[in-house]
A and B are shown apart, each in its own frame.
Chain A
Amino acid sequence: MLSCKDVTRLLSESMDRSLPLGKRVGVRFHLLICKFCARYERQLLLIRETVRRLVAAEDRPGESPGETLSAEARERIRKAFANP
């Protein structure tokens, strides 16, 4: 069983590489039953998304930033928000 401490570490790692299947399943299962870790993931993704939009806004001052996320990243965020 993964602890919350393990899960926070793996959530960060999953933002930098794709986790091995076993770990990915372990994390997903934990997120179904742990409100705090699910929230932690949403917040990390929100920070990532916000940073990207800030950068995009700086690149084109005066224009409203467009979509900067890849389809895969959008999908991950959508899923994360669908499981509060």
Chain B
Amino acid sequence: MPAPREFRSQVEKERPYLVRYASLQLRDADAVQDAVQETLLAALAGEANFAGRSNLRTWLTGILKHKIADHFRRQAREAPLGDGDLREQPDPSAFDGSGHWTSGPTDWGGNPADLYREKKFLDQFTKCLADLSPNHANAFTLREIEGAGTGEICKVLNVTETNLWVILHRARMQLRRCLETHWFKKSTGKGS
């Protein structure tokens, strides 16, 4: 086991990584700093639990995941889902009275499979995620970024599975539309 001072500096070295990790999931810079700070403090206090048994980064990330889930839990408690969050259609104008598209999704063109390489896309994606209501964004984050199962997400957000499906549907629909409006129309310059 490394000496305390050495452990502290090793943990501190992981801070930038933890900030990047948390930034993907929490859309608020203060929340990111808080979660990372709490993680580092918990790690230093719990050095004995680490005891070199796993990769330091993996261990810290595990603690950070709990801190992020705590943050989502708090947000869900402070702003429980209202009727508006569960109205099925996030964008009433997307479909006509008989449930057909009024104007369907446009062709995104090009070779969108390489999108993840574009730094600007990440920025736009984060902005679009931030436009969702916190519970919707948190549900999407847990499901798609964290890869959590629906049962686990229901516990964190304190919702039923049926409500979670509605929330994820709304989140995906809104996110898709936001990306179409702010990324694909600009980058491909073509619609249909």
Contact = CB atoms under 8 A, between A and B. Distances in A.
Interface of A: 3-6, 8-9, 12-13, 15-17, 35-37, 39-40, 43-44, 46-55, 57-59, 61, 65
Grouping DSSP codes into helix (H, G, I), strand (E, B) and loop, the B interface class, with mixed when no group exceeds half, is: helix
Interface of B: 17, 20-21, 24, 88-89, 94-95, 98-101, 104-105, 107-108, 112-113, 115-117, 121-122, 125, 143-145, 147, 150, 164-165, 168-169, 172-173, 175-176, 179-180
A31 B92 CA distance: 22
A49 B143 contact: no
19 contacts: A4-B99, A5-B99, A6-B99, A8-B173, A12-B165, A12-B173, A16-B168, A36-B101, A37-B101, A40-B104, A40-B176, A46-B113, A49-B113, A51-B125, A51-B145, A52-B147, A54-B122, A55-B24, A61-B20
Contacts of B89: 5
A9 B17 CA distance: 36
A58 B100 contact: no
Contacts of A9: 88, 165, 169
A3 B95 contact: yes
Contacts of B143: 16
A50 B98 CA distance: 33
Nearest to B180: A43
Name, among B20, B95, B116, B164, the residue most crowded by chain A CB atoms within 10 Å (CB to CB): B116
Contacts of A55: 24, 145
Contacts of A36: 101, 104-105
A6 B116 CA distance: 30
Contacts of B115: 46, 50
A61 B122 CA distance: 14
A58 B105 contact: no
Nearest to B149: A16
Contacts of B99: 3-6
A82 B83 CA distance: 39
A43 B95 CA distance: 18
Contacts of A6: 99
A55 B20 CA distance: 10
A4 B21 CA distance: 37
A57 B116 contact: yes
Contact of A48 (B88, B144, B180): B144
A8 B169 contact: yes
